[in-house]
Amino acid sequence: MVAVTLEGVCVDYPVYGAESRSLKKSLLRGGIGSRVSHDAHRRITVHALRDISLQFREGDRIGLVGPNGAGKSTLLRTIAGIYEPARGRVRVEGRITSLLSLNVGIEEEATGLENITLRGLAAGMTKREIERHAADIADFTELGEYLNFPLYTYSAGMRARLAFAISTAIEPEILLMDEWIGAGDASFIEKARDRLNSMVDESGILVLASHNQNLIKRVCNRIVELEGGNVKHAGSTEAFFGAEMEKV
């Protein structure tokens, strides 16, 4: 059973840059300069997610939509277990593969093949598993000769191909993806969609955050729309885009 359950999840984010995260400030706090403040630590806090309750089940392909700063990436990171919620609970059943950034586990100076090893290890594969899958991965990327070139010669789309191929080489149970898949060209997105569909059909969950409506329409069967850290809308893709269409 693969499932993700969020119950009343709130995530508050301290912002240090705005207030300067220096030791001096901390030491001087409570000194003459301090003012009475409602926040015990006089921190600037962003309420990135407010009371989110959601339930994702097997076969769900969730499209996470909403304007910039709506909390999409924060929600993905919270599900992944990177951010601990201030209140509420996150329950995850199944193994999470998070593809939130294109550049993690990527070594600029190393070749594509070397990066398959490195990123494969980062994705939780053993050396042996990587060797077993290396040919498949190379095939899927369609990068051919480029795999022997160092990564700094790659475009964003080529990186997306490489990263996606490696991370999905071992069937993920719960796949979290942010935006970047859109960096690929049409034929890659088509290929990626097929792989995602077959993966989710075999009892997985996909959560994909994107501004690319076409991508969302083609890949996802459920939509969660966030706005200002709240769930504005949750329902089937048809219902969501149907409503959009009516508005227009």
Partner 1 sequence: MELADGASKDRSLGRAGGTEPTEYNRGMVPRKFSAAELALLDVVEGARRWELWVAMGVQDLKRRYRRSILGPLWLTLSLAILVAALSLLYGRLLNVPLDRYVPHLALGFIAWQFIQGVVTDSCNVFTGHKGWITNAPWPLSLFVYKMVLQNTLMMAHNALVYVGVAILFGIFAGLPGLLIIPGLALVFVNAVWVGLLFGAVCARFRDIPQIVQSVMRVAFFVTPVIWMPDQLGARSHLALFNPFTHFVELIRAPLLGQVPPALTWMLALAVTAVGCLVTWLFFVRFRRRVAYWL
Q: Which of 194, 199, 137, 192 is nearest to 174 (CA)?
A: 199
Cα gap 51→230, rounded to integer Å: 7
**Distance between terminal CA atoms of the chain?**
40
CA 221 to each of CA 39, 208, 237: distance values in angstroms, whole numbers, following the listed order:
42, 11, 5
The window from 34-42, 94-102, 131-139, 221-229 that contacts partner 1 (CB under 8 A) reads 94-102
Q: Does 93 bind partner 1 (CB under 8 A)?
A: yes
69 binds partner 1 (CB under 8 A): no
**Alpha helices, H only, the chain:** 23-28, 72-80, 112-122, 127-141, 156-167, 186-201, 213-219, 237-247
Considering only 42, 87, 211, 232, the residue that binds partner 1 (CB under 8 A) is: 87
User: Which one of the spans 50-58, 78-86, 152-160, 216-224 is the region binding partner 1 (CB under 8 A)?
Assistant: 78-86
Which residue among 60, 63, 64, 83 contacts partner 1 (CB under 8 A)?
83
Q: How far apart are CA 204 and CA 198, in angstroms?
A: 9
Per DSSP, 46 falls in state: E
Binding part of the chain for partner 1, among 12-20, 52-60, 199-207, 211-219 by CB under 8 A, reads 12-20
Interface residue with partner 1 among 57, 59, 69, 107 (CB under 8 A) is 107
- Cα–Cα nearest to 195, from 237, 137, 156, 247: 137
Choose which of 57, 58, 69, 122 interacts with partner 1 (CB under 8 A): 122
Q: Which is nearer to partner 1, 81 or 242 (CB)?
A: 81
Q: Which CB atom, from 84 or from 246, has the smaller least distance to partner 1?
A: 84
| Residue 153 lies near partner 1 (rule: CB under 8 A) | no
Nearest alpha carbon to residue 64 among 78, 46, 76: 76
- Residue 131 binds partner 1 (CB under 8 A): no
> Which residues are at the interface with partner 1 (CB under 8 A)?
13-14, 16, 21-24, 26, 77-98, 100-101, 103-105, 107, 109-110, 114, 117-118, 121-124, 126-127
